[in-house]
Amino acid sequence: MNMQEQEDWDSIVLKGHEYYLPHLSVDCVVLGFHHNQLKVLLLKPKQKKNWALPGGFVKKDETLEDAAYRTLLERTGLSDTYLQQFHIFSNPNRTKHYRNDEEFESIGIKMPEENWLRKRFLTVGFYALVEFSKVVPMPNVLSDQCEWWDIDGIGELILDHNEILETAQKSIRLQLKYKPIGFNLLPTKFTLSELQKLYETLLGKKLDRGNFNRKMLSYGFLIQLEEKKSGVRHRAPYLYSFDIEQYNLALNEGLNGGI
Amino acid sequence: MNMQEQEDWDSIVLKGHEYYLPHLSVDCVVLGFHHNQLKVLLLKPKQKKNWALPGGFVKKDETLEDAAYRTLLERTGLSDTYLQQFHIFSNPNRTKHYRNDEEFESIGIKMPEENWLRKRFLTVGFYALVEFSKVVPMPNVLSDQCEWWDIDGIGELILDHNEILETAQKSIRLQLKYKPIGFNLLPTKFTLSELQKLYETLLGKKLDRGNFNRKMLSYGFLIQLEEKKSGVRHRAPYLYSFDIEQYNLALNEGLNGGI
């Protein structure tokens, strides 16, 4: 930890209660899609053996959404992500014993017994669907690493973060039935089979190709481009992009019939 | 206000910060269905001109769900309601100026400048779907009345409670697409046309009778009873109840195809 980081963290520990709300945090499930694989962005906290979802505190004068956007910007470099609050986790023991003296001593801080970070914390879960290639993962002062993980290979996370991740996935699956939110995970040009693979990954099941294509095209927000997918030997498939206006309409109004 | 109530309220104002979490409340959208009309349970706060959703604070050692169940029990007498967290409302100004000196002076309390009730409050919205006839509406110490209102006739509520109510209704409409939650609003015996009317009211649109009945019966949790609806002159319709085991399965797993 360099001197600036040390000062930042000292200030959160010792003065955080002056500018953050007590008892409340946000945690972000940041999902990306790369090489037909669903990815989640995780941090490795310095003094812990398990990885963690990127989280943050809530300033006294900001909304939860602003706190989540701020956290995301700091960890990903992205400022225009699709972000959705999905659940607040309130088990009274969820953060008990998480902040321990050893952790703080190891980074040179003696944390007072009555420190605000030792209290019970409730956390508001947000999921963010981002374009994988645009993200620049950045660790924070209390973590060594910030990396994309294959979602099937994450193992045990800190606290209740596995539960938060699972709840986010469930919530996304339900949302997908009436909102085309998955498109936020795609690059600006994509093939219909890439889109289908993404939906299959998010929903955890195979979909019929004919039905899927028919439904997707019926919503009116897909634009077929002149351009075809390059680097494909036979019968290169067409690329699509989406009509942002029509797409936002579908996001707000919901899909007629779902997927 | 009698002496006991005065003491209760004094204790919340002056000592509440010792046993409740700061900055956090729950608000419950309690919906019932009666004479083909959707109803919402509201309180009339003593010193306010508008009505309010029943709400409460969160004890330092309880979950948000427990806080919401406790609030509901106190206002409705019901202990086994279907309750669902749907959103947390966090506008930093949402409770600004709500607790004013006049209000407290009028009930004989001088509220200290730095009192915990004057701070910013975020509120977690829950909706509860209850059987209308089982509810015994009970006002709390700070309200004169607790009553069912037709949902279309409520007018302006306090704070952001209209927004909370609308968000709950939106959330219920989406939930209905994959979960048969609406059944919690019905008495134990009902006709298919009462069920359809309920769904139409919740969804805000007409449904085709044949399709609706076919779908509902296909889920396997409806039981046709020997008994028919009484007090109907011609062609009395059959009454139905639901198979709780099958119903809970559908609640947990979701409906195949939705409604």
CATH assignment of the domain containing A232: 1.10.10.10
Q: Of A167-176, A216-225, B161-170, where does the model show the most confidence? A: B161-170
Predicted local distance difference test score (pLDDT) of residue A13: 85
Nearest to A92 among B63, B122, B258 (CB): B63
Q: Which of B121, B141, B169 is the last residue of a domain?
A: B169
Mean pLDDT of chain A: 89
Give chain B's domain count: 2
Q: Are B162 and B127 in a shared domain?
A: yes
Helix (H) or strand (E) holding B55: strand B55-59
**Interface residues of chain B, partner chain A, Cβ below 8 Å:** 21-24, 58, 60-65, 85, 87-88, 90-92, 120, 122, 124, 174, 177-178, 254, 258
Check whether residue A73 and residue A129 sit in a common domain: yes
pLDDT (mean) for A17-25: 96
Domain membership of residue B227 as a residue range: 181-253
What residue type is assigned to position A52 of the chain?
Answer: A
Please check whether residues A39 and A105 belong to one and the same domain: yes
| A50 and A134 fall within a common domain | yes
How many whole angstroms separate alpha carbon B168 and alpha carbon B30?
10
Residue B175 lies in a domain: no
- Based on the domain organization, do B62 and B163 belong to the same domain? yes
pLDDT mean over B90-105: 83
Q: Quick check: A64 and B258 CB within 8 A?
A: no
* pLDDT recorded at residue A192: 94
Pairwise CB contact (< 8 Å): B63 & A90:
yes
Q: Pick the more confident residue, A102 or A182.
A: A182
Closest alpha carbon to A215 in A165, A176, A169, A174: A176
Distance CA B79, CA B229 (A): 29
Dihedral (C-alpha) B225, B230, B233, B237: value to the nearest 10 degrees? Answer: -20
Instruction: State the pLDDT confidence band at A147, using cuts at 50, 70 and 90.
Output: very high
Closest residue in chain A to residue B252, using alpha carbons only: A170
What's the confidence (pLDDT) of residue B98?
83
Are A122 and B64 inside 8 Å of each other by CB?
yes
Residues on chain A touching B178 (C-beta within 8 angstroms): 174, 177
For residues B134 and B234, membership in a common domain is answered with no
Q: Confidence class of residue A176 from pLDDT cuts 50, 70 and 90?
A: confident
One domain, residues B140 and B107: yes
Element (H, E) at B33: strand B20-34
More confident residue, A24 or B106: A24
Residues A93 and A10 in one domain: yes
Q: What is the pLDDT of residue B85?
A: 97
B36: left (phi over 0), alpha (psi -120 to 50) or beta: left
Q: Is residue B259 part of a domain?
A: no
Nearest to B30 by CA among B55, B60, B67, B4: B55
Boundary (domain end) residue, out of B169, B192, B227: B169
Tokens 């309390």 appear where?
B109
Chain A residues whose beta carbon lies within 8 Å of the beta carbon of residue B177: 177-178, 258
Is residue B101 very low, low, confident or very high in pLDDT (cuts 50, 70, 90)?
Answer: confident
**Is the confidence at residue A162, as pLDDT, over 90?**
yes
- The answer to whether residue B240 scores a pLDDT higher than 90 is yes
* Inside any domain, residue A170: no
- Do A87 and B92 make contact, defined as CB atoms within 8 angstroms? no
Q: Classify residue A226 by its DSSP letter.
A: E
Q: What is the pLDDT of residue A185?
A: 93
Residues A150 and A219 in one domain: no
Closest among B81, B59, B77, B68 to B125, alpha carbons compared: B68
Mutation to test the B interface, candidates A58, A63, A163, A205, most B Cβ within 10 Å: A63
More confident residue, B107 or A227: A227
What CATH number should be reported for the domain holding residue B100? 3.90.79.10
pLDDT of A107 > 90? The answer is no
Please name the residue that has the structure tokens 């019970």: A120
Same-domain check for residues A185 and A159 = no
Percent of chain A with pLDDT over 90: 58
Sign of CA dihedral B73, B30, B65, B190: positive
Question: Nearest CA of chain A to the CA of B129: how many Å?
Answer: 19
Q: What are phi and psi of A78, to 5 degrees?
A: -95, 140
- Of A132, A163, A194, which marks where a domain is finished? A163
Look at residue B123 and give its three-state secondary structure. strand
Say whether pLDDT at B257 is over 60: no
Which has the closest alpha carbon to B1: B108, B100, B76?
Answer: B108
Any domain includes A11: yes
Of residues B8 and A84, the one with the higher pLDDT is A84
Query: What ipTM did this prediction achieve?
Result: 0.89
The per-residue pLDDT for range A27-55, each reduced to its tens digit, is 999 999 999 899 999 999 887 899 999 99
Residues B112 and B150 placed together within one structural domain of the fold: yes
- Shared domain check, A22 and A141: yes
